[in-house]
Amino acid sequence: MNTDFKATVEALIFASDSPLSVDKIARVLEVERTLVQAAVEELSVDCSHRGINLFKLAGGYQFMTSRRFYPMVLKMKDTDRSLSLSQAAFETLAIVSYRQPITSQEVAAMRGVQSVSNILRNLQALELIRIAGRKDVIGRPMLYRTSQKFLELFGLNSLGDLPSLEEIGVNDS
Amino acid sequence: MDFSPTFDLELQLEGFNGPLDMLLHLVRKQKMAIADISIAPITEQYAEYLNRMEELNLDIAGDYFVMASTLMLMKAKSMIPREQEAFEEMREELIFQLEEYEKVLTQAGKLRERHKEISRSFPRSYKEKIEKEDWEFKVGDNGAFLLVEHYARVVERRKALRPILIRPKPYTMKDVLSLLFSVFAEKRKVRFSALARVRERGFVVYLFVSMLELVREGALKATQTDTFSEIILQRRTIFTEEKQEQLVARFE
């Protein structure tokens, strides 16, 4: 592989604010996406032992510090990246992520409460969920889905990467 | 029944995330499979937990009471032979709900773990968003003029925010009402327009309100033949001075 090409891809990924997709890189560089894919995979191997690793997130690639150096980086940054969500918020987010698209009423029913609209509003403010149309029933309630940012913040490449219940040892029939 | 409120319970009560959470806790405490849930004892325990929460002055969401009444309804149905079928249906529904909720808890836990794990890696801190924000204030060669412009804008804004002065009226509701009393002490019949003549709007409003007040109290009778036509005011009784003072006092 042309080292300059690989370095270009590296530069693009580094300069992007959010995970950069192979398609986008291919469009920018006006090359075949298979070429980009190959470069990305090499880059990933190249930096696997470095302080920054290449992460596959939300359908793209992003450089982030290696998990191994978390304590030191944290000490330098002084603030944790993690969201402080209540248990109720995590439950609500879990319901939306596993059963999307879903209405507010359906989420509330699953949690056995009358309303989750406040929690949904907060999750929306955090850009973890978004409104994705309306359900075609009486009242046309809004449907919620998880966002790109949700995938990023939960280390998922796509919704298909959500840990399945079988994987955790629960029978989901 | 092995139910005794303990210190442990007090800690636990605040931590429930809703009625299903509490119910699941009770089922687990009994070391029972969800599918084997027996309604009567669970209903009692649930009610006891609720009572305890009330004693502790915890802020209990209405959701908990909805569940309590559902449980009690089920318990009642379970004791009526011809309601057996309906009871079984409700029980199945509750079991389904609890099992689904248990899955949600597992999934929420899994999400929490994933989030914790990925949060141990940091992306670049640089945020394009901040850069892209509309920062109008760029100081160049004309910096000083820009500063004056901004200052002028601040001054303009302050002007816009200046409070509107409300000037006190030269008369009060009390005055207008007293005036009406003095007019009708002499005359029996007066046209509204005659009273309102040459006075400004505020006075007319006060006059109108006073008129309505006196009509209500039975001191005057108002007649109008058509919309927007002249209102004729007629005296019905003359109030004693004491009664007049009473009415006037309402508008202190």
A103 bridge partner residues? A143
* Residue ranges of domains in chain B, CATH in brackets: 7-118 (no CATH), 173-249 (1.10.10.580)
pLDDT for residue B124 is more than 60: yes
Residue with tokens 């966002």: A147
> For A104-113, B59-68, B90-99, which range has the lowest pLDDT when averaged over its residues?
B59-68
pLDDT at res. B4? 45
Q: How far apart are CA A107 and CA B20, in angstroms?
A: 13
Q: What is the DSSP-derived secondary structure letter of residue A137? A: S
Residue A12 near residue A28 (C-beta atoms within 8 A): yes
pLDDT for residue B132 is more than 50: no
CA angle B147–B153–B158, rounded 5-degree value: 130
pLDDT for residue B6 is more than 50: no
pLDDT for residue A135 is more than 80: yes
Nearest to B121 among A66, A83, A110 (CB): A66
B140 pLDDT band (50/70/90 cuts)? low
| Record: contact A63-B61, CB cut-off 8 A | no
Q: How far apart are CA A162 and CA A146, in angstroms?
A: 12
A-B CB pairs within 8 A amount to 110
pLDDT tens per residue across span A104-113: 999 999 998 9
* Residue ranges of domains in chain A, CATH in brackets: 3-76 (1.10.10.10), 87-168 (1.10.10.10)
* Average pLDDT value for residue range B43-47: 91
Nearest to A64 among B63, B122, B128 (CB): B122
More confident residue, A158 or B152: A158
Q: How far apart are CA A107 and CA A89, in angstroms?
A: 11
| Record: contact A168-B110, CB cut-off 8 A | yes
For chain B, helix, strand, coil in percent to 5 are: 65, 5, 30
pLDDT tens per residue across span B220-230: 888 888 877 88
CA distances from A111 to A123, A143, A147 (A): 16, 17, 21
Instruction: Tell me the residues of B at the A interface, defined by beta carbons under 8 Å apart.
Output: 17-21, 23, 61-63, 66-67, 97, 100-112, 114-129
pLDDT for residue B133 is more than 60: no
Could you give the count of Cα atoms lying within 13 Å of B92 in the half-sphere of its Cβ?
A: 6
Q: Which residues of B touch A155 (CB under 8 A)?
A: 114-115, 117-118
pLDDT tens per residue across span B12-39: 666 788 899 999 988 988 888 888 888 8
pLDDT for residue B1 is more than 50: no
CA B2, B3, B7, B12 torsion: positive or negative? positive
More confident residue, B92 or B164: B92
CA-based nearest distance A90→chain B, Å: 5
Q: Which of residues 34-53 of A touch B (CB under 8 A)?
A: 53
- Enumerate the H helices of B119-234 as residue ranges: 128-132, 143-161, 173-186, 192-196, 201-217
* Average pLDDT value for residue range B1-19: 59
* Average pLDDT value for residue range A51-61: 93
More confident residue, B26 or A79: B26
- Enumerate the H helices of chain A as residue ranges: 3-15, 22-29, 33-46, 70-77, 87-99, 104-111, 117-125, 148-153, 165-168
Flag whether residue A172 sits within 8 Å of chain B, measured between CB atoms.
Answer: yes
Q: How far apart are CA B16 and CA B39, in angstroms?
A: 20
Q: How far apart are CA B19 and CA B42, in angstroms?
A: 12
Nearest to A88 among B17, B101, B117 (CB): B17
* Average pLDDT value for residue range A134-146: 90
CA-based nearest distance B12→chain A, Å: 14
pLDDT for residue B52 is more than 60: yes
Q: How far apart are CA B187 and CA A172, in angstroms?
A: 91
Find the residue in B nearest to A91 (Cα).
B108
pLDDT at res. B102? 92
* ipTM for this model: 0.82
pLDDT at res. B139? 54
The torsion defined by the Cα of A13, A16, A21 and A26, in degrees rounded to 10, comes to -70
